[in-house]
Amino acid sequence: QPDIYFAAALQLDTEPGETWVFEDAFHALQTAHDAGFKTAAVYDKANDRNLAQIWNTADIYLPEFKDFNIFWKRVSETEQKKG
């Protein structure tokens, strides 16, 4: 259920389409994506078997979550591709 994501967006006073959700598990990522949130997948070795599905679902894929500059770079690249 996407309730936790909607609650977070409410607290942030943002709409789902302008709210980023960071997840490392495919089922959680898909739930957020299907609810209209922007999604950033973060690599987790435990989810290697779902990696292809994660790549196909996420708006952005991050190999790790140590440097937030990588996230902003990927956002910029994604926005440029959309034109």
Q: pLDDT tens for residues 19-40? A: 999 999 999 999 999 999 999 9
Query: What is the per-residue pLDDT for 58?
Result: 96
Per the structure block, which two tokens stand in for 52?
A: 């292809």
pLDDT tens digits along 35-61: 999 999 999 999 999 999 999 999 999
Domain that holds residue 43: 3-82
When divided into structural domains, the chain yields a total of 1
pTM as predicted: 0.86
* pLDDT of 78 over the 90 cut: no
Query: What is the per-residue pLDDT for 35?
Result: 98
Query: What is the per-residue pLDDT for 34?
Result: 98
Query: What is the per-residue pLDDT for 66?
Result: 85
Rounded distance between C-alpha atoms, residue 70 and residue 61, angstroms = 10
Enumerate the H helices of 1-83 as residue ranges: 3-12, 26-34, 51-57, 68-82
Query: What is the per-residue pLDDT for 2?
Result: 96
Nearest to 41 by CA among 19, 17, 25, 52: 25
